[in-house]
Chain A
């Protein structure tokens, strides 16, 4: 199975779901699950093959598309792409499982869902700037629809805000890509060709921030992060999982694999600014999460905080920093999926509230012990406790920071401590509240269903597996970082 099956399965799944007759609408979730599993298995198989033979040439598919402009349908997968494909596959499976109970318009729901998955796969596989941008933008409309139709709190507002941020940031990406294309002679949109051209330093100085900002908005960089909490809270569970789990990673991936390699000198000029904003985002997100009353808002702001860590890793421009950033992408993808799944599907669907003071009455650790255990595991992973994926990623980023900006370690440490604080607070308030001894016993809640248990198990196992044995993941990421794209960044003074 080549990595192309990820892409094919997702889009074929979306199309199949859409074509289902109305009376077979119940099949939609089965098809979506099958398509997600095929994608994840294809990604996993490709990862394993790659691990066995690291020196084998990377899989690629290359056909001319719009020859007049040198645009090609060029897909390729190195180790870095493969790990992110696997992450997408995992989150996709978990997302379908957590949406097993969607009853309103299931065909449209799963068609939009699978389209987002397909677009994300496509971005991770594209090696042509135009193609990457196509997949990057395909995601926008389904995101809007998922939130606006199936969302909850303030859904139309949240959906529109998120969509406008997305489309505005992709306008910046469009400008940046076209500037690079035109300045390099207007012959090819292939990312390798664009990156191998030596742009004038003056052009890099103004073009880099445009392109980088375009990607960074989607990665939730402070102060352009405000779409993320509102959007995540308004979105239905599966969409929150996708948004925080993989769609935000598109921004980080684009910053890493497009913006930085294209304009390395511009990156040098701006990287201190990026590092500063990333640290502010890390601390600001954590502090804001500390004050939230809504469980989902806590997770939303924790995403901003964790994405800050990714951007910080990128800004270090060291091997450890980049490695840590990618590890954090994967780790946060899994953990955010888990947290949103539990908060949105397991808890909210049963209690119809996410407010801490209201949740107190439900006494969740007695009425829903499975969810309490799962949330504790997810919180531990999110805080970066050793043994979980978050720890590995944080350590790698911190080593990177130590190499390039040692003085930034102090604010980073503060941020990580506050992260621990808000995670514990949220867990405590939501699941282990102090109840008055004479309070009426909480009403019983339906136990966890099989789809929920399997999704929780899948994500938790992967988070633990990365935390305990990160070597294969690091090996794959290093394979990607050896690509000529990153040489100009890693050889920086």
Chain B
């Protein structure tokens, strides 16, 4: 591959980097000239335009289907997910940081664009080393974004995030080295081919465990979630939005690529009565622990941000249920769910940020009477939280339903219970989660406001609330718009969807018409 082809392949990332550099230059120039930091509206406009341009560039990227042999993959999956990441990033840009929080908006948004670049690169590769480097680019930017506001809480958040993230990166890298020691290759399809010749030796199993642990940190799966509540509480809302939505979506995609492309044969089984050692079983256990831990702890929260953090842990659990099925459709629905989850949780954060700036804190009580103060925001909050709780006709409900159905259908053969234990736990935990979401909605809709003045919000902040709300409703009514392309992309991805012999794919004779 020559350099011009490489550049075209990386056009979206290049556009983002150029925008970030431009932003830094403009920020310095303005600050030198006016002795004041760059106005936040300008940085938002420039960053948003950069991301829009990157989206446009994404359409012109040629498909690169030989992703098995090259460093950069541009398969349909990568294309869809790059678009998703860019959209979630755009939303994060639209959500402005609080006025007193960020002193240098130019640098802040430049870092945000660098983080997005890292995430985009992570999406488009099946080479483990490249994956690690891209993930670190994203992570390092995210650590900085978490601690950007220089308050004590933000510093604590950033430090915890950095320490946990650093340890997880070390785990991940060490795991990769062990895997390399066994396979002598870093390309996931080659690893799959190597795996077909014989079982994993013990040290490579250790390597895979470490890889899963590393990604578990990223996804805030219990018991690796301890950073999440503090980061969600202390970091600027914009950074939390990026961490909760885009970063999590990419984490799930990496897990899908790593496990289903590379190690599908080492999956074992988490099916009841037929458990076999393998990553399916590990994910099953992680899923159960995350769901129970996240939901139970969320019940006791009085701070909205911490509540969303524990809800993030719980939702990672639901996602891992689908991934534990080790099936293409289940993975496709997990990818669908992580997108709609990201939209909903981001939207809830955006509303929280608005209320928090108005009221000074994010306790549940500060939401009191929101429906009288800002009816549209209250309605959006209703959409987000009920989507997270899995109430139809919203996207979160469809996502959960599809995930659980696919996970069951792909693990149940000839009437065996399959993943019923995990799906049953997930359904019950999801029902419990309605309680804490309702506690928020009760404040917003049932209680009276002490001060009936509307919540002040900038235009871009309004967009950051309304766009996800529309998408959550739209994807709930027409889920096939995103689910079908994702399922088709997963089927078309080389290596994915070719199921190992020990867990045969179910016969999916779809009704045509």
Contacts and interface: CB of A to CB of B under 8 A. Distances in A.
Contacts of B405: 69, 178, 181-182, 186, 189
Contacts of B423: 175, 178
Contact of A68 (B427, B484, B507, B509): B484
Interface in A128-146: 130, 133-135, 137-138, 140-141, 144-145
Interface string A130-172: 1001110110110011001100000010001001100110111
B139 interface: no
A164 B435 contact: yes
A185 interface: yes
B392 A137 contact: yes
Interface string B464-499: 000000000000000110011001000000000000
Contact of B427 (A67, A174, A202): A174
Interface string B364-391: 0000000100000000001000100101
Given A133-B392, A137-B392, A171-B427, A179 B386 contact: no
A303 interface: no
B420 A175 contact: yes
Interface in A206-238: none
Contacts of A168: 428, 431
Contact of A175 (B382, B386, B427, B438): B427
Given A133-B392, A160-B438, A164-B434, A66 B427 contact: no
A67 B507 contact: no
A200 B414 CA distance: 9
Nearest to B480: A66
A70 B484 CA distance: 12
Nearest to B506: A186
A247 to B, nearest CB: 15
The size bracket of the interface on B is 35 or more
Contacts of B428: 168, 171
A187 interface: yes
Nearest to A137: B392
B508 A186 contact: yes
A442 interface: no
A264 B428 CA distance: 25
Interface in B384-424: 386, 389, 391-393, 397-398, 401-402, 404-406, 408-412, 415, 418, 420, 423-424
7 contacts: A64-B511, A68-B332, A69-B329, A70-B510, A148-B446, A164-B435, A174-B404
Interface of A: 64-70, 72, 108, 130, 133-135, 137-138, 140-141, 144-145, 148-149, 156, 160, 163-164, 167-168, 170-172, 174-175, 178-179, 181-183, 185-189, 199-200, 202-203
Q: Which 9 A-B pairs have the closest CB atoms?
A: A186-B409, A182-B408, A171-B431, A182-B412, A134-B392, A171-B427, A200-B415, A167-B431, A182-B409
Given A67-B480, A69-B329, 18 more contacts: A65-B479, A66-B479, A67-B510, A68-B480, A108-B371, A134-B397, A138-B392, A141-B382, A141-B391, A148-B445, A164-B435, A171-B430, A171-B431, A178-B408, A182-B409, A186-B410, A187-B507, A188-B511
